[in-house]
Structure 1
């Protein structure tokens, strides 16, 4: 499916019926990664229409030259969320850079976001990163990209990487993402005088995440007065693949905290 926002045709897939929950993937992949990792858990909550867009510059959504910063991407995603919700607030989930974008949408239009879930969020500010330390290590399995992403290095995780990560990576628009990446910080997102987002928030980080770390995620508690924080052992940046049952339980609790539409 496509939904055009500000001249950008946003490709997306959707499952189920009910209140919309929009799920934003991270950098360099497409909607298939969070769809594979999160959809079963969100479906089990019940009453949710799960919507997975390709963020501009990824998958089948282009990033035209007019998009020159992450603020421009957030503007498109905000329009997408508004259209999907029909003007009513939706549940909004993001992984990695998708969590960064989700925070931007909630900051700009909190009226469109009933609840915010941030999984392994990219957070500006130069936070310390733990060393890459696999829980299950196999130097003969996969390639450097796989072994650098997963801390659970098993044949099952390699299969997931090949099925749900690599196909999206092959479609990413490197030129567009490099252009946008030069201005990847979202203006005003962490200004201390900015009003906090007041809805229910879930923040989940991998204890062994050597890509964005967990310190930035912990620091988000100061920004969100209704946040639940979980730093999950035995998982890295690929936490949605490595600890799906834990993530599903946390998402279910978060979804229950989001108030029903009035």
Structure 2
């Protein structure tokens, strides 16, 4: 589907029916990675309408010149959420940069967000980022991007990378992302924006050589109803590498969301 939000035509795919779940992918990819990782984790839960947009400048969503900052991008996502949810409180799931934007959305419209899930979140306080280390495989398959992203380097993970990650590279509007990234700090920066009070889960990879896990651990003190998992043998590609654990963590989060409604 395509939803026009001001000058931006947001492309998205959706599955299921019920309470909306907006799933935001990271930088340099498109909805296909989020869909491949989170559909197995969410499609078993009844009554969820899972919505996977391409973020502006990626996939099939353009980023017109009017989008000049991360704040502009968040405003676009909030208006997109208003359009596709028709006023219904929705769940927010974000991976990497998608989690960065999801935090800002929840901070600005907490009454509209029924639950918040942050997976390998990009955060302004990133620190103590470990060196990349392969834990499964010889490190001799795939291209440099694959070898720098996955810590579990098996033929199965390489196939997932080739199907769901690599194809998006050709669709990235690098100039647009550079323009938006030049003003990439959100206002207010999350955190210390006002704490989102709803059910929250934070999942980080102990071996994440992109954003680390130390800053993610801090979030458990910021969100009053947050569960935290730091997963060993997982890097920034945690949703690919630890699907069963991710499914269990999201299932527990969904239980808390339903209890809070």
CA distance in 1, matches of 2:208, 2:129: 7
**TM-score normalised by the chain length of structure 2:** 0.97
Q: Deviations over 1:26-59 (max 9, x none)?
A: 0000000010011022011111011000000110
Tell me which residue corresponds to 1:188. 188
Q: Could you say if the C-alpha distance between residues 102 and 191 of structure 1 is closer, same or farther in structure 2, counting changes exceeding 3 Å?
A: closer
CA distance in 1, matches of 2:17, 2:95: 23
Contact 2:104 2:190 in 1 (8 A): no
**TM-score normalised by the chain length of structure 1:** 0.96
Q: Deviations over 1:4-34 (max 9, x none)?
A: 1122110000001111101000000000001
166-175 or 58-67: bigger deviation: 166-175
Q: How does 1:15-164 map to 2 (within 5 A)?
A: 15-164=15-164
Q: Deviations over 1:88-135 (max 9, x none)?
A: 210000000000010011111111111000000000024120111111
Tell me which residue corresponds to 2:204. 205
Secondary structure (helix, strand or coil) at the match of 2:151 reads coil
CA distance in 1, matches of 2:260, 2:8: 29
* Unpaired segments ≥5 residues, structure 2: none
Q: Does 1:234 align with 2:233?
A: yes
**CA drift at 1:144:** 0.9
Two-structure CA RMSD over aligned residues (Å): 1.3
CA distance in 2, matches of 1:261, 1:213: 31
**CA drift at 1:261:** 8.8
Contact 1:107 1:189 in 2 (8 A): no
